[in-house]
Structure formats: structure tokens, C-alpha cells
Amino acid sequence: MSKIGGFSNTVVTSITSAIQGSDKETIASIKYTAPKAYAAQGRAVTKEDYIYLIQNNSTNLPIDSVSVWGGEENDPPVYGQIFCAVKPSGGYTLTPAQKQKLIYEVIKPISVLTVTPVVVDADYTYTKITTNVLYDAKKTTLTAAQIKTQVTNKINQFCASTLNTFNSVFKLPELISTIQTADTSIITNECSVRLQKKFYPTLNAKSTYILDFGVPLQRNYYNYGLNSSPDFSQSDPSSLANTRKGVYFEEVPTTTGGVATINIVNQGFGYTKVPTVTITGDGLDASAYAVLAAGRVISIVITNPGYNYTEAFVTITPQSGDSSGGLAYASPVLEGSEGVLRTYYYLNNVKTILRNNAGTINYLTGKVTLTDFAPLTVNNDLGQFTISVVPNSTVISSTYNKIVAQDVFDPEAITVNVSVQ
């Protein structure tokens, strides 16, 4: 043992735990990253080069996950730039000082001179999971409370292994299967997920907030659409002297509609007769016909939009005897692809609308816009505000700077309801 200050019987005790560390790299991880390190040779040409070199930088930046894409992939394209999104270890976003350090000490030295690096924040979408579990008490010694704990632990493990990183994919069927393995007594379970955006609005100042969920969203049926939490207070536009408390956002209730337009994806070729257009889906009575020019389908005219459609499909079939025509393809656009948001509160137990046009929701792109949102207060100690929506698919993927994550600090992120047979 080495001497310290001439003393050989010295004992060193840690008084502060280490932070931002990680587990020892696995053999599988080494086999995966080693070829990339060799290929990069300290230079960044491909996206994979950037990801590896940023992830393994020598500046001690605490980096957990990296996503890189070229400016030509943006909409609209931005040529000559490389975009990098970084999820730091033990945090959500890099500080401005860390971003500058990343650009000038890590990215620029490895980049081509004509490429301008841009560091963007990770964009988090949080999951809110609700599951109803039915179990057979005769097949277990566990109580309902213990079954609930087992299921909650399984959900946490599932989220930890599949979410909270770039290019993650949330698959509801896989989660349902995982919950089923929590205990052999579980007969069945049903599970649903909502998506949440959390932010800190500026108080008493009109601002427009665009929340991009990045996936198609369900429309508001039976009050199962967009909602907000917690409640907030806001001035009444009809009487500025009054302040309304207990205010929330919601979608304006919509009804299922018909087919608004049909877009030609592929005109096809070789048609000698006008092909038959068939519209199928969960609605009724929609009909249309095709318009030909030089053997190609150049447009489709709707003769009846139909009704009660939440999804629809278009099939273009050559007429009998027209063996040369084919490959035309079209995509329908339903009525009501964009909804309107409003704010409301209760006055003497009566629901009262505060603003009829408080924003919009695009069900196809997943973008929610809060227009001129100016809360006076937000009923949350941190001032955090949440918009919650329902995805239109049970498979939710993330791209570019988006991360699908579980908020481990939210006690309401997971709800488990247990019942016994």
C-alpha cells in the first residue's frame, strides 16, 4: 500500500457518490462499435461516423444517445449542414455551454470544412400507460396489490429497455405480452397508451406553441381525444375584468365524415377503358369515377363523399377486356383531417366555453398548435403544462431529434387496475 503524507495506515472514504456513470460495456456492444471505430479513423463522413465519434468523444461530455441527419433530410431541405441531437446522461438536454463545446471541440475537428454543424435539443414525447389486468386468485398466493406491483415493475422494465433513446419504437402488442408474463395467474390484460408533450408556458403573455407528436392522431370520439393538465387561469376575452380559473383545453367534438378528396399517387399506364374506382373502409356510400388521358388516370372525381368514415381505401380496377392497363394508385383524404381546439371551465357546475378558437390539431401530421396561449397561472408547483393525445397506431416510432420516453418522475405515467376472477 502506498503511503500518504508519510502515514501507511491511511483509510480513504468516499463522501460523495459518483454520478453520470454507466455499466461496463458488454462484449456484444464492443463487437458492434469496434468496426465503426476502425472505419471512422477519427474522421466523420457518414452519419454513423458522426454518431460514433460524438458518442465516444474525449472531452468528458456526458452523452447517452446521439442522432445525426443531413440538412437535405429536413422539410424544407437545408443544404450544407449536419444536424446532431444529443441526449445527455442524467439529463434531458445539453446546456448552451455544452452545445458550444460539442460543436467546437468535438464536431468541427472531425467534419468536412464545407459542412456546418448544428446541435438541436432532443424533442421528448412521453407515454401515459393504462392497463386493466384480470387474474385468477386460485393460481397464485399473491394479493391484488402484489400483482399490481409485479405488473408495474414489468412496465418499467419494458420502458427502460425500449424507450428513452433516439430511434426508439414503442409497440403496444409487445407491452401487452410483457405484462402477461408478470405472473402465471394473469388471465388477460388490456392496455392503452396516450402521448404527452410537457412544456413551461410563458405566463401573462400571448404565445403560440407548436407541439409535434410526429405520429398520426385519433380524432375526438366520445370525449376520448385531446386534453390538458393541470388546470390554468386566464383572462376572459368577453370580459377582461374577469379571470377564469379551472380552465382546460379540449377538441371541438367532431363527427365521422366522408371522403373529401382523392389524390393520385401513381397514374398508371396503358388503360384503354376508364377503370372502376372502388372506395372501401368503415363508412358507407362513398363513390367516385376516374378521368383518363393518354391511357393514364389523371384525376378521380368524387360523386358521393359518403359518411361515417374514420379510414378509407381506394382501389382502381381495369374494366373487363382491358388487359394492358394497370398500376394506377390513389390515396383518399377524409373530411375533418384537422380539428379545432377550445378552452372551457365550469361555472355553477355548467360547462362554459372560454375561447372557441384556441388552436388546431392536425390528425395526419400529429401537430398540435396552441394559438395566443396566455395563462395567468398554471396549477402546478413547477409551472409545467401537459397536452395529452391518443395515437392512431399501436406502434409509435421516433426519428431525427424525437425521443419516445417514460417520465420516471410522473407518478401518473403508469396506471394499473387489477381485478380478480
Query: Of 405, 367, 339, 380, whose CA–CA distance to 129 is shortest?
Result: 405
Report d(CA 100, CA 112) in Å as an integer: 18
Place of cell 380524432: 219
Residue 411 is classified by DSSP as: T
**99-103, 254-258, 271-275, 367-371: least confidently modelled range:** 254-258
Which neighbouring-strand residues pair with 383? none
Q: What is the pLDDT of residue 163?
A: 93
Mean pLDDT of 33-39: 47
pLDDT at 26 over 70: no
Q: What is the pLDDT of residue 40?
A: 46
Per residue in 340-354, pLDDT (tens digit) is: 999 999 999 999 999
pLDDT at 48 over 70: yes
Asked whether the beta carbons of 29 and 17 are under 8 A apart, the reply is no
Asked whether the beta carbons of 207 and 359 are under 8 A apart, the reply is no
Question: What is the 3-state secondary structure of the chain?
Answer: CCCECCECCCCCCCCCCCCCCCCCCCHHHHHHHHHHHHHHCCCCCCHHHHHHHHHCCCCCCCEEEEEEEEHHHCCCCCCCEEEEEEEECCCCCCCHHHHHHHHHHHHHHHCCCCCEEEEECCEEEEEEEEEEEEECHHHCCCCHHHHHHHHHHHHHHHHHHHCCEECCEEEHHHHHHHHHCCCCCEEEEEEEEEEEEEECCCCCCCEEEEEECCCCECCCCCCCCCEEECCEEEEECCEEEEEEEEEEEEECCCCCECEEEEEEEECCECCCCCCEEEEEECCECCEEEEEEECCEEEEEEEEECCECECCEEEEEECCCCCCCCECCEEEEEECCCEEEEEEEEEECCEEEEEEEEEEEEECCCCEEEEEEECCCEECCCCCCEEEEECECCCEEECCCCEEEECCCCCCCCEEEEEEEC
The shares of helix, strand and coil residues in the chain, as percent rounded to the nearest 5, are 15, 45, 40
Residue 15 CB partners (closer than 8 Å, separation 6+): none
Report d(CA 364, CA 333) in Å as an integer: 10
Cell of 124: 421528448
Q: 141: phi > 0 → left, psi -120 to 50 → alpha, else beta; which?
A: alpha
Asked whether the beta carbons of 189 and 180 are under 8 A apart, the reply is yes
Looking at every residue in the chain, the average pLDDT score rounds to 88
Q: How confident is the model at residue 144 (pLDDT cuts 50, 70, 90)?
A: very high
First-to-last C-alpha distance (Å) of the chain: 64
Report d(CA 19, CA 12) in Å as an integer: 19
Asked whether the beta carbons of 416 and 231 are under 8 A apart, the reply is no
Per residue in 260-280, pLDDT (tens digit) is: 889 998 999 999 999 999 999
pLDDT at 20 over 60: no
Whole-model pTM above 0.85? no
Q: What is the pLDDT of residue 401?
A: 94
Q: What is the pLDDT of residue 172?
A: 95
Q: What is the pLDDT of residue 240?
A: 67
Bond preceding residue 62 cis, omega within 30 of 0: no
Q: What percent of the chain has pLDDT over 90?
A: 60
**14-23, 82-91, 333-342: least confidently modelled range:** 14-23
Q: What is the pLDDT of residue 22?
A: 58
How many CB atoms lie under 10 A from the CB of residue 386?
19
Longest dimension (CA), the chain: 102
Report d(CA 3, CA 173) in Å as an integer: 60
Cell of 227: 386534453
Q: What is the pLDDT of residue 29?
A: 56
Q: How confident is the model at residue 14 (pLDDT cuts 50, 70, 90)?
A: low
In the chain, the domains with their CATH numbers are 27-121 (3.30.300.200), 124-193+413-420 (no CATH), 201-254+337-383 (no CATH), 259-334 (no CATH)
